Chain A
Amino acid sequence: LAKTTQPISMDSYEGQEVNITCSHNNIATNDYITWYQQFPSQGPRFIIQGYKTKVTNEVASLFIPADRKSSTLSLPRVSLSDTAVYYCLVGPSGGGADGLTFGKGTHLIIQP
C-alpha cells in the first residue's frame, strides 16, 4: 500500500485559500486518493476522492498532477469552522480495506 506524507500542522486565516499537499511516491496504478476531515469528538467525514487531474465538489478541490506522486487538497475561503484534522489516504478502489491506514493527518488551524 502506498505510504502518504503530509505536513503535521498548518495555520491560516479566515477568508484565505488553504492548500494541503500529500506525497505518495509509490502510488499504484489502481490507487485512488481520498481526503477526510475530522473535528474533535467526531468521526471522520469524507471530503473528496480522485484518480487524476482535478476533482471539485461543494467543499473542496483536489489537484492531482500527471505523475500522481502527490495531491493537493484546496479549501477555498476558509472559516474558523474549517479548523480540523485532514487525512490523505491512498488505496485501490476495489477489494478489501486490508492495511487501510489513516496516517497522522494535518492539523489545520484557522485564525480570525
Chain B
Amino acid sequence: SAVISQKPSRDICQRGTSLTIQCQVDSQVTMMFWYRQQPGQSLTLIATANQGSEATYESGFVIDKFPISRPNLTFSTLTVSNMSPEDSSIYLCSVAPTGTTVYEQYFGPGTRLTVT
C-alpha cells in the first residue's frame, strides 16, 4: 500500500481563478492518477500522470483546463484553471504501487473545492 497526502484539504475560490492541488506519496511510484468526484456521485478519472512522460487525459478533460505536473516519483500537482462553479467538486489523487495492477490503487483524502 501507500500513504498519500493532499494539499489543500479544502478551498473556496472565486470564478476565473486557478487552484493548484498537491499530492505527495510516501514511496516512489510510477503511476499516479487524478480523479474528480462531484457530491453524491461516483469518481471520474481525469488523467494519468506517469513520471517522465506527459499526462494522459481522459475524454472530456483537456490539458489547458487541468494542467498536471509530475516532477518526481513521489509528487504531482493538478491545477484547475479558470474555474467556474461547475468545477466545484472533490479532487482526488491516487497511486498504483509498483508490483500491483493498475486497478489496485490507493487514494488520498481528497481536496474539496468550492467555486463561487
Contacts and interface: CB of A to CB of B under 8 A. Distances in A.
Contacts of B106: 46
B103 A100 contact: yes
Interface residues of A, number: 26
A49 B109 CA distance: 22
A109 B64 CA distance: 40
B75 interface: no
A100 B1 CA distance: 20
Interface stretch (A19-27, A61-69, A91-99): A91-99
The contact size tier of chain B is: 20 to 34
Given A34-B101, A43-B109, A102-B44, 6 more contacts: A46-B105, A92-B101, A93-B101, A96-B102, A100-B33, A100-B102
25 contacts: A32-B103, A34-B103, A43-B109, A43-B110, A44-B43, A44-B107, A46-B104, A46-B106, A87-B42, A91-B103, A92-B101, A92-B102, A92-B103, A93-B101, A93-B102, A95-B102, A96-B56, A97-B45, A97-B48, A97-B96, A97-B103, A98-B56, A102-B42, A102-B43, A102-B44
Interface of A: 32, 34, 41-46, 49, 87, 89, 91-105
